[in-house]
Amino acid sequence: MQTIEDFYKPGERQTKFCYADASNHKGASNIVKHCAQFGEVNFDSAVLQEKQEREFAPEIEQERQIKRPRFAKPATHRLDPVVVDFAKTGILPAGFAFFKPAFESLELLIAAKLIPKLSEFSQNVLWVLTSTGGDHRSGTVKHLVIVSPFEAQNLLDTVRHNAKTILHLYAPRSKLGFESLKNLRLYPTPALPTEWSIPRHLILQLNLFAGQFYISSFADYTALCDILGLDWEGGGKDGLVVCANGFIDPALNPGKSLKHSFEHSPVGFLKVYLTKVRRDCESIEKTHMGKILNAVILRPEDF
């Protein structure tokens, strides 16, 4: 019988048989003869021990199953006359009934109980129409309308000949190495006038809706935080009460003049929207937007 010391004591290993007269044991000799049929076998070999361990280890078989969204019949593309009129005149019709604010278009998408997989079919923002609202003397953009690739293709001739609106190619800055297209000056149709400009708040809203994860400047960062009601100064300035997620809650700051109009924090919604819809469920924690939504204060050197 071998003791614990025999098993684990450091030093040269000496084989001890569990049976005193192992060489004359009938069962042991039969085992050796059977093993000899497969070649020379060294019972002290570490390789043999590994093989035995592998044989006894349970094998786990996994079969990956990817669940694709259900097949959906595509809707027939059509160009609404209201959109054509806007492209011709640059003026939004009274009431704005046909043109819906960008984030309001997400009402069905966020209603997960009703349509849980609608986010699978959301389109990227690629084309944008801008206009000065029919004011020929001003070069400042008043209206920014996101259009589909189908609409952009069919409005191209209208935009070229009327020059009341401008069609812009756009893409959000989803990677740090990408150049920002926030100024909408890449391949505009027709060419931009010299005095053309677009307000920062319109660009920031477009970037947020399109899923831009990296911000170009500290000024854009502070302006975005002001729009969303998030603290960017480190908390507590001018006696403001800041929530743990960075939101400056009006309910906790009665009588204070705030720069935003949110009654509740948009942080939770934006995390879900940017991660699941615009990032295909990949992590955004290391991006500028990920840090902002995690209440991390950024400095000018971060841009």
User: pLDDT tens digits, residue range 50-106?
Assistant: 555 555 556 667 778 888 878 878 888 888 888 898 999 888 887 666 787 877 776
What mean pLDDT comes out for the span 276-298?
86
Torsion angle, alpha carbons of 175, 178, 181, 187, to 10: -130
Domain assignment present for 64? no
CA-to-CA distance for 283 and 104, rounded, in angstroms?
25
Residue 91 sits in which domain range? 77-198
Residues 132 and 188 in one domain: yes
The residues that bridge with 146 in the sheet, in sequence order, are 128
This prediction has a pTM of: 0.67
Residue showing tokens 């085992």: 31
Contacts of 122 (CB under 8 A, 6+ apart): 109, 277
Residues 94 and 173 in one domain: yes
Residues 96 and 186 in one domain: yes
Which among 144, 167, 198 is the end of a domain?
198
Q: What angle do CA 145, 151, 154 make, to 5 degrees?
A: 130
| pLDDT digits 0-9 by tens, 116-131 | 555 566 788 899 999 9
The residues that bridge with 147 in the sheet, in sequence order, are 127
Please give the tally of structural domains in the chain.
2
